Amino acid sequence: MPVRDAVPTDLATIASLIRDLAAYEHLEHEVVFDEAEMGEWLFGRDPVARVLLATEGDDEVVGMALYHATFSTFLGRPGIWLEDLFVMPAARGHGHGRALLEALMQRTPGRLEWAVLEWNQPAIEFYRRLGARPVDGWARWRWTAT
C-alpha cells in the first residue's frame, strides 16, 4: 500500500480527514483548530508533528497517521506518539492502516504508542491483530491551556 509524507498542499485534505475522524468518534464538538495555524505547526519552520498519508490509485488520499516524536527515559531511545490514525470507511480492510503503522514502526528505534477509545472495538481488534496490547496500570491524564 502506498504511503507518503504529507506536504503543505495536503493541508486541506488533512483537515478534512481530522473532521471525518471526529465525526466517527462522535467528537465533532472538540474540533476547533484554525487550519492555517495547524499548517504552521505541521509544515512551518519548526514543525512539531508530521503526517503520513495512505493513497490509492492516482494518489487519492484515503487515510492518515498524524504523529510526533517522544522519548523513553527507560529505553534511552526516541519513540513516536501516534496522535491520530484514520482510514476512510470505504478504504478500510485494504491494508492502509497496517501500511501506515508499519511505516511508523520503521521510523523509530524505540516504541510506537497511541490511545484508543474504549468503545472502538474494531480499532482494538485491528491493533491486537498487529501484536499491540494496552499498557496495564497507566491512566491517561491531560492539561489543556485555556
Distance CA 93, CA 73 (A): 36
> Quick check: is 142 in a domain?
no
pLDDT digits (tens, 9 = 90+) for 89-112: 999 999 999 999 999 999 999 999
Q: Is residue 15 part of a domain?
A: yes
pLDDT value of residue 4: 98
Whether 20 is covered by a domain: the verdict is yes
Residue 140 belongs to a domain = no
In the numeric block, which cell numbers belong to residue 70?
517522544
Q: Would 134 be classed as within a structural domain?
A: no
Residue 46's domain is classified under what CATH number?
3.40.630.30
Q: Which residues are catalytic?
A: 127
Can you tell me whether residue 35 is helix, strand or coil? Answer: helix
127-134 contacts: CB < 8 A, separation 24 or more?
Answer: 130/98, 130/101
* Per-residue model confidence (pLDDT) at position 143: 80
Q: Please, where are the H alpha helices in the chain? A: 11-24, 35-43, 96-106, 121-129
Going by pLDDT thresholds of 50, 70 and 90, the confidence category of residue 139 is confident
- Distance between CA 114 and CA 47 in Å, rounded? 20
Helix, strand, coil % in the chain, rounded to nearest 5 = 35, 25, 40
Residues 33, 5: Cα–Cα separation, whole Å: 21
The answer to whether residue 20 scores a pLDDT higher than 80 is yes
The cell 482494538 sits on which residue?
A: 124
Closest CA to 99 of 118, 126, 71, 134: 126
Q: Each residue of 30-78: pLDDT tens digit?
A: 999 999 999 999 999 999 999 999 999 999 999 999 999 999 999 999 9
Overall number of domains in the chain: 1
The parent domain of residue 88 ranges over 3-129
